[in-house]
Amino acid sequence: MRFDLPQDRIPEYWYNILPDLPEKLPEPIDATGKSFETLKTVLPSNVLNYEFSQERLIRIPDEVLERYLQVGRPTPIIRARRLEEKFNNMIKIYMKMESYTYTGSHKINSAIAHVYYAKMDNAKFVSTETGAGQWGSAVSLAAALFKIKAYVFMVRTSYYAKPYRKYLMMMYGANVNPSPSNLTDFGRQLLTKDPNHPGSLGIAISEAVKYAMDNGGKYVVGSVVNSDIMFKTIAGMEAKVQMEEIGEDPDYIIGVVGGGSNYAALAYPFLGDELRKGEIRRKYIASGSSEVPKMTKGVYKYDFPDTAMILPQLKMYSIGSDFVPPPIYAGGLRYHAVAPTLSLLMNKGIVEARDYTQEETFKWAKLFAETEGYIPAPETAHALPILEEIAEKAKKDKEVKTVLMSFSGHGLLDLGNYADVLGFERIT
Ligand SMILES: *Cc1c(COP(=O)(O)O)cnc(C)c1O
């Protein structure tokens, strides 16, 4: 069952949770004395302003709304009836399908806004890092829509192992470089030491920031920070209208956390209402990967968002910026920390956390494909085990519950990863 919101009814505001948080968000710390200056130079000025804004609702610029409509917004909500049957109809499952956008995930929602504000600053180009390529492809598309060049620094191992998202970025006209690259001093140094350096997200961030700083470009941040989450709340703002029309009020809002942006973007507009009323009835549960267990084993502390320690330290649940994740296939979940706002809410017990292994989630992904006919991204599949937990509780309590889930992306470019883990025959 599919619930659409017509294009002429797309919400015109982003939601900013900062004024509604139960306490003030801990301030960033400039440990090196240089990071605030760096941010002022490389971030679009409006992005930096929104990072600390206390305005609750922010009008979405018409230029941004127009691109949202172009790339497939509003996205539908799907009721997963066949999957509900698997749980003996003890839960009603509604999914906000961010996978229906052109690049196949929620990431385009903020990419469009960041690139728009970079363009407003007359940036020569935008630069960013990407691991598996989801964020890089969103930025590449956004840059194409605003007719500005994108430089993407893609972790070298992914550049060679996952060529399809690289091709996607190239279709949008982006300049894609394996990182370490020879576009920056830092990259060149690393390549001199080891011409086959595998790279890392931390290195790619450093290169993207440096390249923007030295060449008149602007750097775009893909998750974690307040402004990025705010830009992505278009998903939650749409979902609120849709759920009202459906006539359901979710008892649970669930999703997966890489940096926390897709989950926060769906949950915050709902949670904000409850925070302002001072009464929280819904349950908020977010999950990550046991292989990168920041959700359940992270420590709430000040840590660097990047490995190279260029950016200010933020207070967040982290397993350490020097944590080297195992090569898991849910590339979007490899990040070492949780967004500061989401971390604060976890610390207050308002958002509950889970971690699941790749093996169990991939089995759920296959079940989902067989029942609902749709292929979830490996990241997205990490939320499916939460459904089972909720269904079991509902059965014990003999009470049907309504769940709203962030369906962050599709897995059509990740079939090779599913084949590896589920043991399909590979043709090489
Ligand atoms: C990037 C990504 C995530 C995780 O990132 P968040 O910032 O936590 O949203 C989840 N799902 C998909 C499909 C992704 O591409």
Residue 1 lies in a domain: no
Residues 382 and 312 in one domain: yes
CATH of the domain at 219: 3.40.50.1100
Residues 36 and 79 in one domain: no
Residues 259 and 171 in one domain: no
Residues 186 and 324 in one domain: no
Is the CB of residue 411 below 6 angstroms from any atom belonging to ligand 1?
no
Overall average pLDDT of the 26-30 stretch? 95
Residues 168 and 277 in one domain: no
Looking at 205, 226, 247, the residue that finishes a domain is: 226
407's enclosing H/E stretch is strand 401-407
Residue 6 lies in a domain: no
pLDDT band (50, 70, 90) for residue 324? confident
Give the number of other CB atoms < 10 A from CB of residue 309.
18
Enumerate residues 6+ apart whose C-beta is below 8 A from 48: 39, 40, 227
Is the CB of residue 409 below 6 angstroms from any atom belonging to ligand 1?
yes
Distance 333 CA to ligand 1 centre (A): 7
pLDDT exceeds 70 at position 428: no
Over residues 146-183, the pLDDT tens digits come to 999 999 999 998 898 888 999 999 999 999 999 999 99
Average pLDDT, the chain: 95
pLDDT exceeds 80 at position 427: no
> Can you give the pLDDT at residue 32?
84
Distance 399 CA to ligand 1 centre (A): 31
Distance 28 CA to ligand 1 centre (A): 23
> Can you give the pLDDT at residue 39?
92
Distance 406 CA to ligand 1 centre (A): 10
Q: How many domains does the chain have?
A: 2
Residue 375 lies in a domain: yes
Looking at 163, 196, 226, the residue that finishes a domain is: 226
Residues 212 and 326 in one domain: no
Overall average pLDDT of the 414-424 stretch? 92
Overall average pLDDT of the 6-22 stretch? 98
Residues 193 and 160 in one domain: yes
* Distances from the Cα of 62 to the Cα of 28, 65, 66, 242, 266, angstroms: 31, 5, 6, 22, 22
| Structural domain harbouring 407 | 72-104+233-422
Over residues 236-272, the pLDDT tens digits come to 999 999 999 999 999 999 999 999 999 999 999 999 9
Distance 288 CA to ligand 1 centre (A): 10
Enumerate residues 6+ apart whose C-beta is below 8 A from 401: 90, 91, 92, 251, 252, 390, 393, 394
DSSP 301: E
Residues 402 and 338 in one domain: yes
CA angle 171–176–180, rounded 5-degree value: 165
Is the CB of residue 380 below 6 angstroms from any atom belonging to ligand 1?
yes
Is the CB of residue 332 below 6 angstroms from any atom belonging to ligand 1?
yes
Residue 394 lies in a domain: yes
Q: How does 220-256 read in b/e, with b if 16+ C-beta sit within 10 Å? A: bbbbbbbbbbbbbbbbbbbbbebbeebebebbbbbbb
- Which of ligand 1's atoms lies nearest the C-alpha of 105? 13
Residue 7, CB half-sphere, CA atoms under 13 Å: how many? 9
pTM, rounded to two decimals = 0.97
